[in-house]
């Protein structure tokens, strides 16, 4: 079984069409995942965030509106001192 850190779904509806952005990262603990989730939750259009802590790429998934730009997510995660790259 894999460990998955997930932020509760918000009740806000999508703005535009929904999408799931997928990134590799070095987010390797529940505490680090919570920190990233809390910060990414402030980005416009973000509905759900999860990190697969068992996957070798520590996959970060961001469920969001189509207006959310992947580069913005990458920049935010990098600014917190983590690696992040789009898959």
> Where does the pLDDT of residue 17 fall: very low under 50, low under 70, confident under 90, or very high at 90 and above?
confident
Of the candidates 60, 32, 57, which has an alpha carbon nearest to the alpha carbon of residue 48?
60
Mean pLDDT confidence for 19-27:
97
Rounded Cα distance, 32 and 28, in Å? 7
DSSP 77: H
Mean pLDDT confidence for 21-41:
98
Mean pLDDT confidence for 20-37:
98
Q: Is 31 left (phi over 0), alpha (psi -120 to 50) or beta?
A: alpha
Helix (H) or strand (E) holding 84: strand 84-86
Give 46-78 pLDDT, tens digit per residue: 999 999 999 999 999 999 998 899 999 999 999
Decide if pLDDT at 11 tops 70. Answer: no
Domains of the chain plus CATH, in order, are 4-86 (3.30.70.100)
């Amino acid at each position: 079984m894999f460990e998955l850190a997930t932020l509760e779904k918000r009740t806000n509806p999508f703005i535009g069409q929904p999408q799931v952005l997928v990134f590799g990262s070095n987010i390797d603990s529940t505490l680090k995942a919570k920190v990233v989730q809390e910060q990414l939750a402030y980005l416009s259009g973000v509905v759900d965030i999860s990190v697969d802590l068992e996957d070798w790429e520590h996959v970060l998934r961001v469920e969001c509106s189509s207006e959310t730009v992947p580069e913005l997510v990458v920049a935010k995660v990098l600014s917190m001192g983590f690696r992040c790259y789009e898959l």
